[in-house]
Structure 1
């Protein structure tokens, strides 16, 4: 429980910003901030873990989505670690619902990368300005589509950090019937998600924890070996109010309560840790 608390998983948004549909996952409120029930977090994380492991064991593919600044690094890292796909900058509208057009953009990306690899930019165009234009096009395509350039078809699963921010991605996934897994903060609608995991979707350390844990589920599902340690499920929600000291802002900075006598920063990323999911239960 100490590790979960230290990552700030239990810190929700301001009470005035909440979605009432998150009520079942809220433990209490303090100083205008909702506190998420970690027992519910672990329960839903286990359900998501087991489901994701089963689905990927059947050969289904996962698209990790998280475009907010705090999530970008972990989204890319964990998607690559589990040999899956990711979008961590801007969601290209129609990525799923207009897949045939997106495939053409991916083909263009691969062509430009091949040209870069064999230094053939100069052979294809006549001027330095045209070469610069091609290189800029390449970088733009890499930034947007680099995480899905090897995605041959629409995946069956989407894992989302902050479905409120990734509203368009979630709508497209729902329209096409993808299974949606997501970390839902207190301002989100959990009913839009097949496997919602209540938790802080703003703090860097909390985001990393969720992504590392679900990446482990994918690795296990695809026959790999998980090397990372996990957290214990022995949680005591009764202690949360006593442990509460503040909240993380969007940059990952830990802001103490007004009645606290000091401030501290938690912006740095943590050592790799995950939520305990007991496979023997």
Structure 2
């Protein structure tokens, strides 16, 4: 029994030591090669809400003199606007050749990215939705195409239920509504740590733009998404009922990129609750929906 206790203690010490070495290795690598943690082609801006700073990124794509189509993208927990940009970068670039004008806004959720991290704050999906709405209302934009990824679909639907006047279409990519809080927290937290280390190894084995992008995103998220606050966000939130927004006069598109990630019963439930659900690669569909 004593040997087992000693073994566990030694393992814990070893893990802390390994994490210490890895973190300092990554830090010196970033400093040596001057890794840039800015989102290309976007202007970084901030919004003050009760002395708390929400960071967002803005980009205007102007092709003519017509009005702008407003696109707002919300990333998933344990991620940041880096993920939003990476996920939809090809579409954003296609907008340069469009006949329309676009204003693209990527938002770092509270406790994520460069937005505020504060103890004793209500990080529930409902309250976070209210915070993001105040930012959008301050920007005075309407007719918004709202794009939400995975768990942030709960935030998107909460936003619609609180104020459906400023949205025209909502696109939910791989929406997750029914989840185990404990398992989701562990899975997402460990995913960040694993991606940071693995992408760093691949980057050193083969220096390429793909591996560099993966490393920058995972490292940034691992350092700037506060685990204790994000865990609080998931554990203290109640998944919103899809029926709460079904009566709203807003088109809600559910896009599932890979059926294998979801149980058939869950997909059936999505099909029953959304008027439109696609089981196809989402990028082309997102582009088509926005262009219409």
TM-score for the superposition, normalised by structure 1 = 0.28
Higher RCO structure, 1 or 2 (CA under 8 Å, sep 6+) = 1
TM-score for the superposition, normalised by structure 2 = 0.27
